[in-house]
Chain A
Amino acid sequence: GAGVSQSPSNKVTEKGKDVELRCDPISGHTALYWYRQRLGQGLEFLIYFQGNSAPDKSGLPSDRFSAERTGESVSTLTIQRTQQEDSAVYLCASRSAFSETQYFGPGTRLLVL
């Protein structure tokens, strides 16, 4: 089917506000990842969902960050009380149970003023 989609594509917010980012994985993909990529940097792992297992939250940088996923469908990443250092591109990727290939969405570019 279609690839991974993310929304919004761009988000500008004021410091202290909450933001919610959405990811629609490829249909049938059991694994879903969230990454953060700061300008000129590599990908920083945030959280990993695999089927109905408990998510691996080991990459979340603070308790202001949280994510949810309903079954094997949509996921939302929430950042509370945003800070300027949260400004980055947030990438979502999904993967099937039968492959190690991750397919990335186009990302959400977050700017915190």
Chain B
Amino acid sequence: QKEVEQNSGPLSVPEGAIASLNCTYSDRVSQSFFWYRQYSGKSPELIMSIYSNGDKEDGRFTAQLNKASQYVSLLIRDSQPSDSATYLCALEATGGSYIPTFGRGTSLIVHP
């Protein structure tokens, strides 16, 4: 049984700061990792995926994966109030059942 742990927050950061969101997992088989953003009352939308150890950058977002330590993180640079949302971490075993396991999410508040 995969478990995905996230601090529920809220994580509050000032506008322009770096927001750091973390996720740990218990299953060493997991190979694919995803970060979803969910605005209040809306559906999740994928913002980043990462499969290999190291960093992956996309605009203001950087995903970091460390399989040995079993954690994946999301950094948001130059945080904007529009980034305020819940961020869900999800993982999946590549070549397996294609059924992701989601964490409960971390609430991020970016204040002006």
Contact = CB atoms under 8 A, between A and B. Distances in A.
B and A form one assembly: yes
Interface of A: 31, 33, 35, 40-43, 45, 48, 50, 56, 58-59, 91, 95, 100-102, 104-107
Contacts of A102: 46, 100
B43 A105 contact: yes
A100 B43 contact: no
* Majority secondary structure, A binding face: loop
A42 B104 contact: yes
A50 B88 CA distance: 24
Interface in B1-35: 4, 8, 32, 34
B102 A43 contact: yes
Nearest to A106: B43
B88 A42 contact: yes
Interface centre among A40, A43, A50, A58 (most CB of B within 10 A): A43
Given A48-B97, A100-B49, A41 B32 contact: no
Interface residues of B, number: 22
Given A42-B104, A43-B44, A106-B43, A48 B88 contact: no
A48 B43 contact: no
B108 to A, nearest CB: 15
B99 A101 contact: no
7 contacts: A42-B103, A45-B101, A45-B102, A59-B99, A101-B46, A101-B49, A106-B43
Given A42-B105, A100-B92, A50 B44 contact: no
Contacts of B102: 35, 42-43, 45
A51 to B, nearest CB: 12
Given A42-B103, A42-B105, A43-B88, A104 B98 contact: no
Contacts of A95: 98
B49 A104 contact: no
Given A45-B102, A48-B99, 11 more contacts: A33-B99, A35-B102, A42-B102, A42-B104, A43-B102, A45-B99, A48-B97, A91-B44, A101-B46, A101-B49, A102-B100
